[in-house]
Structure 1
Amino acid sequence: MAIAVLASLAMVASCGLPRSGPNKREIFAGSVEKKGNAHIVTVTPEVTRATAAQPVFGFSQSFRNAGVIASDMISPGDTIDVTVYENVKDDPLLGNSGQRVSILSEVQVDGQGFIYIPYAGRIKAAGQTPEGLRQAITRKLETQTPDPQVSVSRRAGEGATVSISGQAGLNGVYPIEASTRTLATMLAKAGGVTVDPAIAIVRVTRGSHTGRIRLNDLYENPSLDIALRAGDKINIEKDSRKFIALGATGAQTLVPFETESMSALEAIATVGGLSTMAADPTGVFVLRDETEAIARAVLGRNDLIGDQRIVYVLDLTQPTGLFEARDFQIRDGDTLYVTEAPFVQWQKTLGAITGTTSAATGLANTANGGE
């Protein structure tokens, strides 16, 4: 029996035991101070404040300062109906003899914003209201026919449109009308979004410029409800931020963000908490490639160049440990790693020894029974 136990100890010592990753001692051994390549930083309120940066979304001033366009503003691509009433009985300018009313239907506004009216020539229509265009046509014709009466109507939205794509309720091309001249009203027209508003991002592209905001911010901040312009492209995206959970947690997986921000404590809860029978609450780590500016602030050093690997340490057994975990923010690409408690390795060692010894005893009993 003693020989079997000694053999088991030798086998365990030489082969090692399975585990989910490095232990706390091994992580600290990889610190820069010990010739490793990562800075080990204990989370404090000062560290939490220095690392609290989150992605900044918003619209530029050019988006926010654009005024709401008139509901009947004419745009390139619009279709215009023009009716001219001439104050003559014979030989009218536009119609046949005896015809005092001339109807010019479905006049297309070209890409440069002009329309063509016989005897009036090319007239700039884009950027005008129907009333402004009516006056312009009248001025052109009144020198050729006495007291012309002109009526202009615009077929709503055929030129002034925006496109909506992505995670919207109903993708498509929508006209800018009196009730849909701003971003929020246009999204409502498209049926809202198909993802949780907490993780929905709205991207607006206008020409060569793009801005994006969180959907919840749009509803909470009226200044973000920008006026739309013909040709705007609106895309609804799902927040793509993720973090990795490894080690002695309820789940080892790639975890998407479910809210705009997520603390370390929320991240732990999201993956089922710490493993009761395996986790070391003094060894909760957040691994991150930190920017030069934040690394300098966290470490209090001005000699750092470029991004730095930093391992943030949370000790949940400390009096303020849970508060620090509640306040420390997880960021896109972070790795949350929880080490195993030291006794777990002892349990595995004893289990391996016990299993090996039992197997050896079984083999011995089998051999003895065969004699």
Structure 2
Amino acid sequence: MRKGSFGSTRLIAAALVGTALAGCTTLPSAGPTASQINAALRKDNQTGFTIVDIDAASAPGLAFAPPPPGGLATLDQPGRIDTVGPGDILEISIFEVGVTLFTGASTDSPAQGGSFNPSARGTQLGTVKVDGAGDIQLPYIGRLAVAGKTPGEVERMIERGLRGLSQRPQALVSVKDNAYNVFYVSGDVRQPGRYTLGLPRERLLDSLARAGGTVNQPDDMVVRVTRGTVSQESRLSAVEASGPQNIALLPGDRIELFNRPRTYLVFGASDKVSQVNFGANELSLAEALARTGGPSERLADPAAVYLFRYAPDAGDETTTRPVIYRLNMMRPDSYFLSQRIGMHDKDVIYIATARANAPAKLAQILGQLFSPILAVRAVTR
């Protein structure tokens, strides 16, 4: 009985081995081999992809490209930040000599038997708010259109309005609460809020510094500036202190900072299949491969490393087409070329499985099949 049982087990094992040998091409794999990708190009190419070898001729077209013109730099324009606008709270004082309009006659005037007092006396009119139309209302003067005027120009407007009503009037105007010459910072900053523009004109990086900086890594952050009805944005790491993206601010600018990390995906015969953040303003293909350990020494075909990307169509820059760039890491010059290839957001790296791994996997499967049989045989002896 024991022999019959053992013979049945041997027959089952033999059947399983035969099945495994027959299905060698369907062994578990991390993805297609290089030959299978080439076959898909000819027979099952539903997306219309093409394969381009990365060599000395194609590498320059994949190199790091300068940032496109425009962006935040298109918002840069001259402007003033020292003028009065709607919502501002003005503090106004009037200084007079002799017979005054706001404080009455001097107690030492000749009409009262005293001597003339030439000293100036000041009167604070209190605070005045600039209305939505940009006007203020003052006693004896009436309505003044002050929007777009500097405090000095408003002073001269008041003095002209008091001529003939007061003896040598002089006005002093200051902005107590600035609601017009301000900018707004929101999003992933430490201290969001409304800030007053200072002199000289502040720039974009100055405004972020006043708001405490970002709460995340600058390489993952996007800064958006809205001026009026126009918005532009850029990677924060691409805004340099002396560059054109570091624009001078104007009243009413709205600055938003939000987290938008750039990532790439790694699949196939790699020791670390994952989604990886760039973590830098620029990232080369060589650096991207190194971050995940590169091709697996046990599984990969180093001659078949692929970069999947939607590239601009040569005939129409507004459309894209799927392209697979093939890197042969068995060639020494590929290591130089890979340092010049710039990664794009959402790129996919695929490392093909080596065909030579199939016999090794088969041996592993057979080992798993025979281990229980050997264990049973050792027990039944």
Structure 1 length normalisation: TM-score?
A: 0.84
Aligned-pair identity in percent equals 28
Supply the distance in 1 between the matched residues of 2:372 and 2:72 (Cα, whole angstroms).
72
Work out whether residues 292 and 307 of structure 1, in 8 Å CA contact, stay in contact via their aligned partners in 2: yes
CA contact (8 A) 1:75 1:230 kept: no
| Residue 45 (structure 1) aligned with residue 66 (structure 2) | no
**Offset at residue 268 of structure 1 (A):** 0.8
User: How many residues end up aligned between the 2 structures?
Assistant: 355
Partner of 2:87: 77
Deviates more, 1:311-320 or 1:356-365: 356-365
Preserved CA contact (<8 Å) 1:30 1:38: no
Change (3 A) 1:231 1:220: closer
CA distance in 1, matches of 2:377, 2:204: 80
Please identify, of 315-324 and 170-179, the stretch whose mean Cα deviation from structure 2 is larger. 170-179
Mapped partners of 1:4, 1:84: distance in 2: 109
Q: Does 1:336 align with 2:349?
A: yes
Residues in 2 aligned to 1:59 and 1:128: alpha-carbon distance in whole angstroms: 31
Paired with 2:51 and 2:306, the residues of 1 have a C-alpha distance of 9
Look up the match of 1:66: 78
**Quick one: structure 1 residues 60 and 261, their matched pair in 2 at CA, closer, same or farther if it must change by over 3 Å?**
closer
The alignment's C-alpha RMSD in Å is: 2.9
Corresponding residue SS for 1:203: strand
What is residue 277 of structure 2 aligned with on the other side? 256
Amino acid at match of 1:49: P
- Structure 2 vs 1, CA of residues 21 and 55 (structure 1 numbering), >3 Å: closer, same or farther? farther
Once the two structures are superposed, what CA deviation does each residue of 1:214-253 show, in whole Å capped at 9, x if it has no partner?
Answer: 3344335344332211211112233432211111223211
- Aligned equivalents of 1:82 and 1:11: distance in 2? 97
After superposition, the C-alpha distances for 1:152-199 in whole angstroms (9 at most, x for unaligned) are 111264432111122323211111122662222222222222333344
Instruction: For residue 61 of structure 1, report the CA deviation from its aligned partner.
Output: 5.9
Instruction: Indicate conservation of the 8 Å contact 2:263/2:346, yes or no.
Output: yes
CA contact (8 A) 1:167 1:238 kept: yes
1:208 corresponds to which letter in structure 2?
A: T
In 2: Cα distance, 1:146 partner to 1:50 partner = 77
Map of 2:114 onto structure 1: none
Distance 1:192 1:180 in 2: 19
1:98 shift after superposition: 6.4
Match of 1:267 among 271, 288, 308: 288
Please list the CA deviations of residues 324-363 of structure 1 after superposition, one character each: whole Å capped at 9, or x if unmatched: 2222222112111111222222211111122213334445
Cα 1:19/1:249, change in 2 over 3 Å: same
Aligned match of 2:28: 18
1:354 is matched with which residue?
367
Q: Which runs of 5+ in 2 are unaligned?
A: 1-6, 108-120
Closer, same or farther in 2 for the Cα pair 1:181/1:60, shift >3 Å?
A: closer
1:248–1:274 Cα contact (<8 Å) kept: yes
Partner of residue 126, structure 2: 105
**Structure 1 match to 2:235:** 214
User: For residues 58 and 305 of structure 1, what CA distance do their matches in structure 2 show?
Assistant: 17
Distance 1:118 1:10, change over 3 A: farther
**1:228 paired residue number:** 249
* Structure 1 pair 60–214 and aligned structure 2 pair: CA distance change class (3 A): closer
Match of 1:121 among 142, 145, 168: 142
Contact 1:58 1:212 in 2 (8 A): no
| Alignment partner of 1:345 out of 358, 367, 372 | 358
Say if 2:320 is the partner of 1:317.
no
**Distance change >3 Å, CA 223–CA 333, structure 1 → 2:** closer
CA contact 1:80–1:107 (8 Å) conserved in 2: yes
Q: How does 1:356-371 map to 2 (within 5 A)?
A: 356-363=369-376, 369=381
Report if aligned partners of 2:221, 2:261 keep a CA contact under 8 Å in 1.
Answer: no
Distance 1:118 1:40 in 2: 81
Take 1:81 and 1:10, find their aligned partners in 2: how far apart are those partners? 97
Q: Match for 1:186 among 207, 228, 234?
A: 207
Q: How far has the Cα of 1:144 moved from its partner?
A: 3.5
Partner AA of 1:40 in structure 2: I
Q: What's 2:171 paired with? A: 150
CA–CA distance in structure 2, aligned partners of residues 210 and 149 of structure 1 = 44
Query: Is contact 1:48-1:329 (8 Å) kept?
Result: no
Question: Can you list the C-alpha shifts for 1:111-152, whole angstroms capped at 9, x where unaligned?
Answer: 232222122222222322211110011112214334322111
Question: Contact 2:73 / 2:247 at 8 angstroms: preserved in 1?
Answer: no
Distance 1:335 1:349 in 2: 29
